[in-house]
């Protein structure tokens, strides 16, 4: 049975051969797809979803044994969190609980001790701002979150030099897709100042885009992997109007700023004009250079 690390390696190997992310002119705009084409999603996505399902089931059952079966079902509430999705989950999330998903301890520890205020991470007095538009289904967002963001957090955000503003955008699949419903759980976690931990656990366990993997039950298990997250409150917030208002505001901001795809990362002086460091062409190195220059000039 593959470990969490092995599963991530499998996803990363698949992502390495996959095309760049979907690009869009914003919600409701014409989409020029640059992400996994439909044929690839059908041919390769099915196998990857099976692998992810096996890994999640292994993590949630402790690898087998007697007791209640808590394996995640990949059919169900389609991203709307219900009471049934919360069965057998603790009242408060815990990274060390048997139910926690692969990568939960690393995700929680990465942000430990760093100020969070909703979807903002870092010292509010930091001289440099980094703004990041993401889609919860985007495989290239997964690459940045897993392989590059931890270095940025430790080098710039934890040291008080940069603050990060997360923008959970939705454009894959149109209205009603899991890009729209799935990001509500992230925003709801941010209501308790734990959105960045939630996002990291999500990306560490991401399935293939537009295959129906991000159900309400999967979202609930991600939430249960975030230490200190109050799950009943999180469920109510996920289904409530406030997170939908925040989500809609992000969509409008993306359209107003002509954001072309995910991940789009902007960098600049706090309170000043931000410049695109990585947009249509995904370039983590360009983000590193932009951050270094902005910090040097702050």
For 243-276, b/e burial (b = at least 16 CB within 10 A) is beebbeebbeebbebebbbbbbbbbbebeeebeb
Kindly give the pairing relationship between strand 264-269 and strand 162-168.
Answer: unpaired
Task: Please give the domain boundaries of the chain with CATH numbers for all domains.
Answer: 4-296 (3.40.30.10)
* Six token digits for residue 234: 């999180």
The confidence score (pLDDT) of residue 36 equals 41
Q: Is 31 helix (H, G, I), strand (E, B) or coil?
A: strand
Contacts of 177 (CB under 8 A, 6+ apart): 137, 170, 210
Q: What is the rounded distance in angstroms from the CA atom of residue 49 to the CA atom of residue 55?
A: 10
Report pTM: 0.76
pLDDT digits (tens, 9 = 90+) for 23-82: 333 333 333 334 444 433 443 443 443 344 444 444 443 333 333 333 444 334 434 799
Q: What is the pLDDT of residue 35?
A: 41
Averaged confidence pLDDT in the chain: 81
Give the pLDDT band of residue 161 (cuts 50, 70, 90). very high
Q: What is the mean pLDDT of residues 193-215?
A: 96
Please list, in sequence order, all residues whose beta carbon lies within 8 angstroms of the beta carbon of residue 206, skipping any fewer than 6 positions away: 11, 52, 136, 137, 139, 142, 213
């Amino acid at each position: 049975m593959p470990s969490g690390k092995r599963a991530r390696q499998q996803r990363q190997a698949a992502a390495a051969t996959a095309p760049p992310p979907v690009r869009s002119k914003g919600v409701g705009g014409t989409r020029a797809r640059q992400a996994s084409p439909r044929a690839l999603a059908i041919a390769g996505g099915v196998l990857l979803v099976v692998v992810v399902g096996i890994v999640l089931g292994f993590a949630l059952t402790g690898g087998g044994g007697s007791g209640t079966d808590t394996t995640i079902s990949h059919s169900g509430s389609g991203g709307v969190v219900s009471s049934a999705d919360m069965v057998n989950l603790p009242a408060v999330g815990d990274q060390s609980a048997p139910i926690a998903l692969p990568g939960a301890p690393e995700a929680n520890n990465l942000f430990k001790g760093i100020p969070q205020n909703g979807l903002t991470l870092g010292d509010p007095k930091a001289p440099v701002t980094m703004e990041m538009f993401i889609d919860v289904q985007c495989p290239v967002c997964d690459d940045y979150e897993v392989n590059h963001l931890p270095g940025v957090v430790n080098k710039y955000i934890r040291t008080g030099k940069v603050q990060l503003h997360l923008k959970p955008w939705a454009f894959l699949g149109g209205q009603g897709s899991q890009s729209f419903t799935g990001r509500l759980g992230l925003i709801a976690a941010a209501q308790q100042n734990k959105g960045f931990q939630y996002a990291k656990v999500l990306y560490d366990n991401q399935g293939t885009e537009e295959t129906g993997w991000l159900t309400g039950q999967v979202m609930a298990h991600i939430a249960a992997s975030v230490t200190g997250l109050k799950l009943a409150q999180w469920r109510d917030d996920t289904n409530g109007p406030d997170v939908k208002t925040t989500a809609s505001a992000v969509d409008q901001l993306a359209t107003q700023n002509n954001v072309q795809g995910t991940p789009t990362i902007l960098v600049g002086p706090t309170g000043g004009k931000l410049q695109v460091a990585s947009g249509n062409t995904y370039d983590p190195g360009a983000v590193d250079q932009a951050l270094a220059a902005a910090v040097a000039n702050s």
